[in-house]
Structure 1
Amino acid sequence: MDSIKIRTYIGDDGILQIQLPPEVANQELDVVIVFQPLMPKSSQSPTKMPEELGYSRKFVEEVIGSWEGEPLERPEQLPFEEREEIQWPTS
């Protein structure tokens, strides 16, 4: 299975044209189309989407997508706690 990622503009007619490589000519294919409208650059967030950071769609849908409520915020981190070193008996 191969995949092709393209960015294109769809006009008023709603027609999408896709040029496939010549090696797939004269074959029956299963084709899956997933589309996501792009936000205008002025309203784009500087943060990356989870998929852009390498998280799988399943992870996003089942873990991140399941949160309902206020946005999660990381609390301020406390200073590192220094502990005494363990002294093991030598005899």
Structure 2
Amino acid sequence: MQSIKIHSYVSNDGMLHLDIPVEMKETEFEVTVTLKPIKKQTASSQQEELKQLEWHEFIDKTYGCLADDPIMRHPQGEYEQRELIE
């Protein structure tokens, strides 16, 4: 048994057309279809998802860019000694 998950769109005629490629030919199959409507995203949730995708793309592009030129922290100097607060 094999599970295949696909996303499809139902047009105005109310008909769902499924084209599912299978490896076996001239074989009978028992097919079970489960319909689960996809919740439409609001504009704000789409923008939030886009921001997350842009952030992940930025990280993917810049990850390791300073590997050959590591950042060095120079000595910070002496700090004044303050009296303890009681």
Q: TM-score range by the shorter chain?
A: 0.3 to 0.5
Greater radius of gyration (CA): 2
Q: Which of structures 1 and 2 has the larger relative contact order (alpha carbons within 8 angstroms, sep 6+)?
A: 2
TM-score calculated relative to the size of structure 2: 0.42
Output the TM-score relative to the length of structure 1.
Answer: 0.40
